[in-house]
Each structure stands twice: as C-alpha cells, then as structure tokens.
C-alpha cells in the first residue's frame, strides 16, 4: 500500500483516491475506479475519496466486506427480494385461506397444478420462510457495511474542503464559465449575491468556495440508520417478553382471565353490539349502494368491556381478587389499552344459547297445560329441579353441542351451540322415572309410554366476542426507525449540496459549480449570482451532447 502524492499540490492522499482530497486534481492511475476519462467531465461520486472496499482485498473477511459494500450487490438483493415478494402474492398466503381447510388440499383444489407447485415450494408461507428472512437480513447487512464504508471517507473529504482547487478539477465540472474582464467590485458583487442566496462562503487568497445544503449529503446515511433501527425492532419481536400475541373468547356476562398475562388481568364482556347499516334515517343516503348488496353491511362491532386486575398473590387456578382498572368500549380501530397491553375487537359469534326453560305437561293434554316449569342455566346446570306440582326432574345427561355419532349422542364442543338433555322425570310420589330426550326443536320419548312430556318454553341467547391481545414493546423502536428513516430521506431528497468555486486568473476569473442533484436549481442560482457580469456559464454536458449530435448529423449528410 502506498500513499499518493498529488502532482498538482503535493498533498499526500490515501491509496485508492480518485480526486486529490486537497485540490481536487484527478489522480491519473485511479480514474478508472469511477469510469473517468481524461476528456470527459469528472465523476464527483463520493468526492473522489478512497472507498475502503475498493482498495484492500486480501483476506476472506475483506472479501466478504467488499461483497456487502458494493451498491451493485445491494441493488441485486433488492431486485431479488422484490421478485420474491411479488411471487408471494400470486395466490393467497396460508394465513388468508379459510381456517378449517387443509392447506395442501386447498391449494391443489383451488388453483390446480400451479397451486400444488406453489404449495410444495413453500410459497404459501413465503414471508416467514428462512430464505426470505435471509434475503431481508442480507439487505440489512449490505446497508450497514456499505454505509460504514462510505460515510467515513465522505465525512473526511467534506470536512477538509479547500476553496483553492486545481484547474483541471474546475475545468472538468459540468457547469463552467469564465471571463477575462471582471473588476474587483464585480467579484465582490458576486460574493454578496452568493451570500444573499444563503451560500456559506469561504475565501482563501482570492479563491472562493460557496456552499449550501451540505447536510443533505448525510441524508442517505441517516435513512439507512433508520432502516437498521427498524429491522432491529423487528428482530426483537422474537424475544417473548417484548412481543405477546394472544386471543380470547368472552361470553356476555362472563369474566375470564386474559391469556398470556400470567393470570394477572381479567376481562368482562358486559355487552356485545353489532350494528348494521339501514336502521337509521341517516343511512338513507346509502340506500342505492345498500340495495345492490345482498347481505347486511356492518356498521359497528363493539364490546363493552371491563378490565380487572387480580390483586391476590394467588397460585394460578385459585379464586382471584379482582379490582376494576378500566371500563370502556372496544371497537374496531379503537382498542382498549392498559398497562402496555391492548385488546382489539377481532371476532364475534352471535346468539349462543345461555339458558333454556322447560315446562312439564301431560303427554295427552292437547292444551299442554303447565304442571310446573324450570329454567336451566346452560353454563351451570343443576343436578335436579323440583317443580311446583311436586315432580322432580333430574338431568341425566347434558350435551352442550349435541350431535349423533354413529347413533350415540355426543357433544362436539363445550360451547352451548346446540344444547340437548336426557331428563329423568319423577312424577309426584313415583320412584320410577320416565326418560325423555329434549333438544332444540326435538323431544324424543324412547319408550313411547311416557305420561309426561317436557316442552321447550323458551330460551335466552347471548353473544360471544373475540378479542385479540397484544403487547408490543418493539413498537417504540420500530417507530423510531421509521421516524429516522423519514428524516433521512427528506434530508437527502428535498435539499441538495450545491457548491460554486470562483478561481482567480491573471485576468478575470473562472467559475465552476457542482450539485449532487437538481441541476436546474443550481443553474437558477448561478443566473442570479452572475447577473450584471459578463460571465457566461455553460452546461458542458449539454454542450458535449449537442456537439456529438451535430457531428452525427454532418456525417449523415
């Protein structure tokens, strides 16, 4: 490794430098790094500083480092991730297919052979697949290393800027102008014009550097830091303490423990409300649209909930000592929040049975005159019920969610969705019971000899609300990442680093200008600055192209 002595000013530059960090003179043997040629305008990328990755390439660590530092690699990674992401939207992801189907069959039946391949390749869970995660991780690594590699030399280069630049540097800027007649007053005028346009002016022996918007050069690095913070936040979600995600069903009137809170919190569902459009006069304006719809259009899902904290330091399963901490409604878009947790309205079931009332009457009584009645609380049925006329009804079997399994009555779940009973009816003074089976819309007398019959008198229903629980301590980190990213992007995109050099000659001056973006803007600035002088600044790139075109046209002629 050898440092390079600038031929123009004698400054000692680091190996790999493209433009002398002191005077800007191009270092001949390194021009190829940015694709420069002597005849062309200078490429001002990274101020022509020595990017570390371009210079050392020895050990495996260095090689790896250089790989990730390359913008080319970064863009390829972005492109591959882009295509992979798009592939994941061809068919729905597994989380969006109906919950009660088998994924393998669903993709085959719905989308045929292509669906089957899609499933086999694991595209149905693409975004949580290991290779997609690795892609994202590689982008993250590339962002970090590429930033480290560029920000340090760029910082050094911008810090040590000198107003005096080599003539070769100035001449080969895209915007260049000169004059052989300029009075001192005229030059002072230009300087004060520069200041008027909010340029920061430094002078050195008649050489002038005017600069503005330098901070925008840090924009890319700031937004990359934002992205890193964001990715870090996402990474932390894998720490169980940082991120909790659970779900609970709560029936109206019930108080249940909120899962994943170590039995510390309980929620009560006071009422579940489902409103649809078309009920009120206000909804008249939607009539046309509603008429077109076949079903109902929901207006509001709401749970009136109470949150309790268990203050007893009890063992799990013991009776809690509940203290109310919050009472509020939970609606879609309006979760209830407490102690870092949030409960969201995410599902519901309507009209689950709550209680059923039966009345006893004589089997042959066409009037079905009641001999006594009783109500069963389906969440807590009693063993037996004593009726007014002295009869006794014993519950022999209870099936909350009744179905027939090869002739055998069974319950499908524990929820009273289709309650059924086997009753033993003891008429007054009788020891031998009559057996009868009662369910919604059914009453079966197996023996056919029952003298008494239990008729369904009525029932109560209640709604069930489904609430999602979240605690996400990574949100502040993720938000911070987002904010930093936005600051960085705006800083880099809405401002530009503009520089204008004024170089004194024996007669008159030279003027050159560079901006990292928005040439239109800097040209307008220069117009304002050289007003009242005879300086003529030209866009050398445009000129070159014009000349090329003319040459071409002449050849054709």
Q: Which of 10, 12, 90, 532 binds another protein (CB under 8 A)?
A: 90
Residues 169-228 that bind another protein (CB under 8 A): 220
Backbone phi, then psi, for 510, in 5-degree steps? Answer: -110, 150
Q: In the complex with another protein, which residue's Cβ is closer, 83 or 449?
A: 83
Q: In 3-state terms, what secondary structure has residue 418?
A: strand
Q: In the complex with another protein, which residue's Cβ is closer, 182 or 484?
A: 484
Q: Which of 184, 185, 279, 288 binds another protein (CB under 8 A)?
A: 288
**How far apart are CB 18 and another protein at their closest, in Å?**
14
Question: DSSP per residue over 256-298, as a string?
Answer: EEPTTSTT-EEEEEEEEEEEETTSSGGGGGGHHHHHH-SS--E
Residues 446-475 that bind another protein (CB under 8 A): 468, 470, 475
Q: In the complex with another protein, which residue's Cβ is closer, 102 or 289?
A: 289
Looking at the DSSP bridge assignments, the partners of residue 330 are 303
Q: State how far the alpha carbon of 240 is from the alpha carbons of 117, 232, 278, 433, in Å.
A: 34, 15, 45, 57
67, 70, 73, 74 alpha-carbon torsion, rounded to 10°: 120
Q: In 3-state terms, what secondary structure has residue 365?
A: coil
Which residues are within 8 A (CB) of 30 and not within 5 positions of it... i.e. 6 or more apart? 4, 16, 17, 18
**How far apart are CB 382 and another protein at their closest, in Å?**
8
- Specify whether the CB–CB gap between 513 and 519 falls below 8 A: no
Q: In the complex with another protein, which residue's Cβ is closer, 180 or 547?
A: 547
Q: Which of 103, 117, 152, 289 binds another protein (CB under 8 A)?
A: 289
Residues 299-318 that bind another protein (CB under 8 A): 299-301, 314-318
Residue 301's nearest CA partner among 267, 321, 327, 272 is 272
- Specify whether the CB–CB gap between 129 and 149 falls below 8 A: no
Q: Per-residue string for binding with another protein, 138-157, x by CB under 8 A?
A: --xx--xx--x---------
299: left (phi over 0), alpha (psi -120 to 50) or beta: alpha
d(CA 112, CA 467): 36
* Token pair in block for residue 383: 């063993």
d(CA 366, CA 274): 40
d(CA 423, CA 425): 6
Q: In the complex with another protein, which residue's Cβ is closer, 263 or 304?
A: 263
Q: In the complex with another protein, which residue's Cβ is closer, 344 or 459?
A: 344
**How far apart are CB 235 and another protein at their closest, in Å?**
6
- Specify whether the CB–CB gap between 160 and 209 falls below 8 A: no
Q: Which of 11, 286, 338, 348 binds another protein (CB under 8 A)?
A: 286
Q: In the complex with another protein, which residue's Cβ is closer, 137 or 440?
A: 137
Question: DSSP per residue over 34-57, as a string?
Answer: GT--TTSPPP-GGGG---HHHH--
Q: In the complex with another protein, which residue's Cβ is closer, 5 or 82?
A: 82
Which range of residues in 25-33, 294-302, 385-393, 498-506 is near another protein by CB under 8 A?
294-302
**How far apart are CB 300 and another protein at their closest, in Å?**
6
Q: In the complex with another protein, which residue's Cβ is closer, 140 or 163?
A: 140
Which range of residues in 164-172, 184-192, 376-384, 437-445 is near another protein by CB under 8 A?
376-384
* Token pair in block for residue 496: 């530009």
429: left (phi over 0), alpha (psi -120 to 50) or beta: left
**How far apart are CB 261 and another protein at their closest, in Å?**
9
| Binding of another protein by 541 (CB under 8 A) | yes
d(CA 91, CA 106): 11
Residues 379-438 that bind another protein (CB under 8 A): 379-383, 395-398, 400-401, 410-416
Q: Which of 128, 181, 350, 534 binds another protein (CB under 8 A)?
A: 128
d(CA 370, CA 256): 38
Residue 169's nearest CA partner among 47, 82, 281, 33 is 47
Residue 200's nearest CA partner among 167, 161, 174 is 161
Residues 263-282 that bind another protein (CB under 8 A): 263, 277, 282
**How far apart are CB 466 and another protein at their closest, in Å?**
12
The number of residues that bind another protein (CB under 8 A) is 120
Residues 52-71 that bind another protein (CB under 8 A): 52, 56, 59, 61-62, 64-65, 71
Q: Which of 187, 201, 264, 283 binds another protein (CB under 8 A)?
A: 283
Residues 316-375 that bind another protein (CB under 8 A): 316-318, 331-335, 342, 344, 346
**How far apart are CB 44 and another protein at their closest, in Å?**
11
Residues 478-517 that bind another protein (CB under 8 A): 478, 482, 485-486, 489-490, 493-494, 516-517
Residues 17-36 that bind another protein (CB under 8 A): 35
**How far apart are CB 132 and another protein at their closest, in Å?**
10
Q: Which of 16, 24, 26, 74 binds another protein (CB under 8 A)?
A: 74
């Amino acid at each position: 490794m050898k440092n390079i002595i600038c031929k123009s000013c004698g400054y000692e530059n680091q190996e790999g430098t493209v433009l002398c960090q002191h005077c800007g003179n191009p270092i001949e043997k390194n021009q190829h790094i940015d694709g420069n040629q002597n005849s062309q305008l200078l490429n001002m990328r990274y101020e022509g500083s020595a990017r570390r990755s371009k210079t050392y390439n020895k050990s495996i660590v260095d090689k790896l480092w250089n790989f990730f530092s390359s913008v080319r690699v970064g863009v390829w990674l972005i492109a591959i991730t882009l295509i992979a992401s798009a592939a994941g939207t061809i068919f729905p992801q597994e989380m969006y297919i109906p919950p009660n189907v088998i994924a393998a069959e669903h993709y085959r039946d719905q989308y045929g052979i292509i669906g089957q391949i899609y499933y086999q390749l694991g595209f149905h869970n693409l975004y949580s697949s290991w290779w997609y995660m690795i892609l994202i991780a590689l982008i993250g690594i590339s962002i970090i290393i590429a930033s480290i590699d560029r920000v340090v030399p760029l910082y050094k280069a911008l810090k040590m800027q000198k107003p005096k630049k080599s003539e070769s540097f100035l001449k080969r800027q895209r915007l260049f102008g000169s004059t052989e007649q300029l009075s001192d007053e005229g030059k002072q005028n230009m300087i004060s014009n520069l200041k008027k346009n909010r340029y920061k002016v430094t002078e050195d022996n008649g050489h002038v550097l005017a600069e503005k918007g330098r901070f925008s050069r840090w924009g890319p690095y700031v937004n990359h830091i934002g992205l890193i913070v964001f990715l870090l936040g996402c990474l932390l979600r894998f720490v169980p303490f940082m991120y909790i995600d659970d779900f609970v069903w709560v029936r109206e009137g019930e108080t249940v423990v909120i899962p994943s809170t170590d039995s510390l919190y309980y929620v009560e569902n006071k009422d579940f409300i489902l409103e649809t459009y078309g009920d009120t006069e206000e909804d008249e304006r939607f009539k046309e649209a509603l008429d077109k719809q076949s079903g109902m259009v929901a207006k509001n899902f709401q749970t009136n909930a109470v949150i309790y904290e268990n203050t007893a330091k009890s063992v799990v399963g013991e009776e809690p000592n509940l203290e109310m901490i919050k009472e509020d409604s939970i609606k879609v878009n309006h979760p209830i929040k407490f102690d870092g947790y949030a409960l969201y309205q995410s599902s519901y079931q309507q009209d689950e049975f709550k209680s059923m009332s039966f009345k006893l009457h004589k089997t042959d009584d066409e009037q079905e005159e009641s001999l006594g009645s009783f109500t069963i609380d389906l969440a807590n049925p009693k063993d037996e019920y004593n009726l007014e006329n002295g009869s006794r009804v014993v519950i022999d079997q209870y099936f909350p969610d009744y179905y027939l399994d090869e002739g055998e009555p069974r319950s499908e779940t524990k929820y009273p969705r289709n309650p059924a009973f086997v009753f033993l009816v003891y008429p007054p003074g009788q020891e031998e019971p009559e057996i009868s089976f009662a369910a919604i819309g059914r009453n079966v007398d197996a023996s056919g000899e029952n003298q008494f019959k239990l008729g369904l008198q009525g029932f109560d229903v209640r709604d069930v609300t489904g609430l999602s629980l979240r605690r996400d301590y990574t949100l502040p980190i993720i938000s911070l990442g987002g904010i930093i990213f936005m600051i960085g992007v705006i800083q880099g995109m809405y401002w530009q680093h503009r520089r204008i050099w004024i170089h004194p000659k024996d007669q008159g001056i030279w003027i050159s200008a560079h901006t990292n973006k928005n040439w239109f803007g800097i040209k307008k600035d220069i117009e304002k600055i050289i007003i009242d002088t005879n300086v003529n600044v030209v866009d050398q790139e445009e000129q070159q192209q014009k000349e090329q075109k003319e040459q071409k046209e002449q050849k054709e002629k």
